[in-house]
Chains A and B, each alone.
Chain A
């Protein structure tokens, strides 16, 4: 017990009887991957963490300020409302995706994996097409569709006598974020659909035959066989959605600009970070990189905690 772990390892025989684990040469095999990981993942992450403790003018951050950037982010009367606003909006953005995108994805998958459905390949393609389009394109198309005066959605509402409901969808503080979240859900619904379809198709046929012999109804098969089996996949989809949404930027940028207009109603962590840490605010446009790094760090910690919670909830039920 007083031996150091290294000595303990060198004294034990490898279960494979190969000497490689006793010599440091194994290290050479993971070196390329490790180098890439350190250079492109770990180092930027750590240096960004470090930046969040600094302040300075322009891009030269040379003054150590301790937790000052975090204090400003969480408590400053002018900075904190923007941060908490963006933080809250990102959760709304996430919940809409969970509720709409992933629920629809699951439903589509259940339908698509049904052997009685004809033309499943066609529907699968249709559902997946938006995912392959650039967000700039879909954002622009939806902006045109939602145009208050000439957009087909409001023209249709006018035509059927519901002119009162023809709102400036992307101009009201109450509707902008939900609408953008729905557009994003529409675009990405293909991903959960694919994942769930693959999971459902991998369920052995025997289960369904057994259920049929026992006289289970279609709903019982879904609830008692299909859903429990794909719970781990729900975890994967949850993690993907969570990380995707907390890193989201482009859909809001293309539909509501860098400010998440109107009045920051659609501002999410991605746009707030872009404005603070990268582009700076119009018309001055000089970023506050220390504060930006603090936002990035908070986002990272939130992501880490969230992913751990989702894994705990879904992986424990194998």
Chain B
């Protein structure tokens, strides 16, 4: 009798273990910073689905694409993983490493514009849109109050504010160029949509209706040049982290940056901060970057495709959207239903308000320019830094940008 009970309990334990193992899914990601956020999300998910264990398994961001590719090719890839929008995602899909999600019911929760960035050229969806991010100018509320500066509504007012701050011995903008990616992605690409004329202007450039050295492109470089007197001393040696520290310590009054930095600023003791949109010059219409950043894809070789689908579908259920919005401050869920979310964080609200009444677009280079040799992305970086350093005029920068793109760009 005793023996039978023992055997029974062992057998039951084995069944439990086997059951749990069959229901474990791993999530691959490039966000090593988001472990705590994912813990919250997974806890919420397990309230509805206690039987599925989700393990968040991020990779060092610069190595993510290569590591993921290697894992997928060797059959050790995660069940569910972050999918890059545009070219990088398309390549993985073409090579058969992503499940075709087009017919999945959860895809109907997105409008066509959101889905677009995780679709192959023939319109099949390889990723479900998860987060968008926004970009703008963070400002130190206390410094603005002390020096009686109002939130700039035009580019001219922004430069005037910078001039005032500089005369008071405050660094106007914390941004530097040492890390290169930030001057490109959070400065140039925050400004670009306004000057090139939103998505329509970008598409005109991409289709050849306008040349890449069009006056509108030169205008972006020209705006970059306007900022050069207001960057920190020795900005060439200031990296992204130093910029954030300078802003958090109140040494710098403003910083071009993305919504993903909100959680870090929240932890900075005594920092009173807000955010406003990079303003357009007088008489020009503003356009806003609202970048389709993170999609989520399912590995077709996964042993738990059903569980993976359950998880991905939950992410866009009402409970899932609420949990994403709650846990991932600074990242915006993209499902149609998420427009109704009552965000509580005032800076998050400011970021969302930037989209009101203006056209939004993804980052300028993300659709066509990130690939190629030399990549359009690298050309933006190099020319932006050259203009800031006075080595090229904005016109020369635009001309060089166009000439180098002509080496490979096919209309």
Contact = CB atoms under 8 A, between A and B. Distances in A.
Contacts of B348: none
Given A149-B246, A261-B179, A286-B88, A171 B373 contact: no
A227 B232 CA distance: 50
Given A57-B95, A78-B373, 7 more contacts: A143-B239, A154-B234, A168-B237, A171-B236, A284-B87, A284-B377, A286-B65
B234 A167 contact: yes
Contact of B181 (A147, A149, A282): A282
Query: Which interface residue of A79, A147, A281, A285 has the most chain B CB atoms within 10 A?
Result: A285
A281 B238 contact: no
A148 B233 contact: yes
Query: Which interface residue of B63, B180, B246 has the most chain A CB atoms within 10 A?
Result: B180
A284 to B, nearest CB: 5
A172 interface: yes
Contacts of B171: 149
Interface stretch (B66-74, B136-144, B297-305): B66-74
A148 B234 contact: yes
Nearest to B249: A150
Interface in A161-189: 166-172
B26 interface: no
B375 A281 contact: yes
B385 interface: yes
5 contacts: A171-B236, A171-B238, A283-B377, A284-B370, A284-B371
Contacts of B407: 78
Nearest to A253: B62
Contacts of A150: 251
A268 interface: no
Interface in A46-83: 57-60, 78-79
Contact of A285 (B66, B177, B373): B66
A278 interface: yes
A285 B232 CA distance: 30
A79 B372 CA distance: 12
Interface in A246-264: 257-259, 261-263
Nearest to A176: B237
Given A59-B69, A149-B246, A261-B179, A283 B370 contact: yes
B76 interface: no
B368 interface: no
Interface in B365-398: 370-371, 373-375, 377-378, 382, 385
A146 interface: yes
Nearest to B245: A150
Contacts of A283: 88, 181, 370, 377
Nearest to B236: A171
B321 to A, nearest CB: 27
Contacts of B233: 148-149, 168
Interface string B200-236: 0000000000000000000000000000000011111
Interface string B134-156: 00000000000000000000000
B65 A170 contact: no
Contacts of A285: 62-66, 88
A170 B176 CA distance: 12
